Amino acid sequence: MADPVSGRIEALLTGSLNIPQEKIRPEADLRHDLGLDSFAAVELGYAIEEEFAIKVTDEELASVKTLGDLVAAVRRKVQGTTPEAAPAAP
Partner 1 sequence: MAKRRAVVTGLGVVAPNGTGVAEFWKATLEGRSGVRLVTTFDVSLFDSKIAGTVEGLDPLAFLPPNVARKSDRFVHLGVAAASEALKDSGLDLEREDRTRAGCIIGSGLGGMLFHEEQILAGYEKGAHRLNPLCVPRVTPNAVASHIAIQHGLLGPNMVVSTACASATHAIGEAMRKILYGDADLMVTGGVEAPLTQFTFGAYAAMKVLSKRNDAPQKASRPFDRDRDGFVLAEGGAALVLEDLEHARRRGARVYAELVGYSAASGAHHMVIPDPTGSDAAQAMSLALRDAGIGPADVDYINAHGTSTHANDVAETKAIKDVFGDYARRIPISATKSVTGHAIGAAGGIEAVACCLTLDQQVIHPTTNLENPDPECDLDYVPGAAREARVNVVLSNSFGFGNANACLVFTRLAL
Position among 16, 24, 68, 87 found at the interface with partner 1 (CB under 8 A) = 16
Site for partner 1 in 28-87 (CB under 8 A): 39, 42-43, 46, 49
Residue 11, interface with partner 1 (CB under 8 A)?
Answer: no
Q: How many CA atoms lie within 13 A of 8 on its CB side?
A: 18
Query: Which of the stretches 15-23, 57-65, 69-77, 82-90 binds partner 1 when contact is defined by CB under 8 A?
Result: 15-23
- How is the chain split among helix, strand and coil, in percent rounded to 5? 60, 0, 40
